[in-house]
Amino acid sequence: MKKAYFSVGYQSRQLLAAEIDAIREALIKHQIHLFIFVDQYRFSPQEQHQMMRQAFRDIADADLLIAEVSEKAIGVGIEIGYAAALQKPVICLRNAGAEHSTTASGTATHSLTYTNAGAIAAVLEPILAELAPLLVA
């Protein structure tokens, strides 16, 4: 099955439950599994090298990266850059009321805004329809 690595700041994860559910639903329609790093692992501050090595392995193993960039997070920016360096499709999503990140958007293959969780499918669907057939399962 195809896999989308979801990049989100640890602090933002719980606040974005509805948005993540909407993203997951959109991906399921294209037989793409949503992998959320911060849900899978817990690292202590002393394990920063292990954490990033694991993140890089998981990004390399994914078919695309979706980043929620409504809140700025250094780790999310690093993950976007790494996926882009691997020439993977990168979709940046942000709430329309959030500050625009020129570095995240400038690195992404697709930069999308949404007004609420219910609007995510409408902005994400055309991109997934374009990308899904190109992804190798």
| Average confidence (pLDDT) per 10 residues, the chain, 137 residues | 93 89 95 94 94 97 96 92 97 92 92 95 94 78
pTM of the model: 0.94
Strands ordered across the beta sheet of 90-95: 32-36, 2-7, 64-68, 90-95, 110-114
Q: Residue 29, Cβ neighbours under 10 Å: how many? A: 13
Q: How far apart are CA 26 and CA 120, in angstroms?
A: 8
Q: Residue 62, Cβ neighbours under 10 Å: how many? A: 23
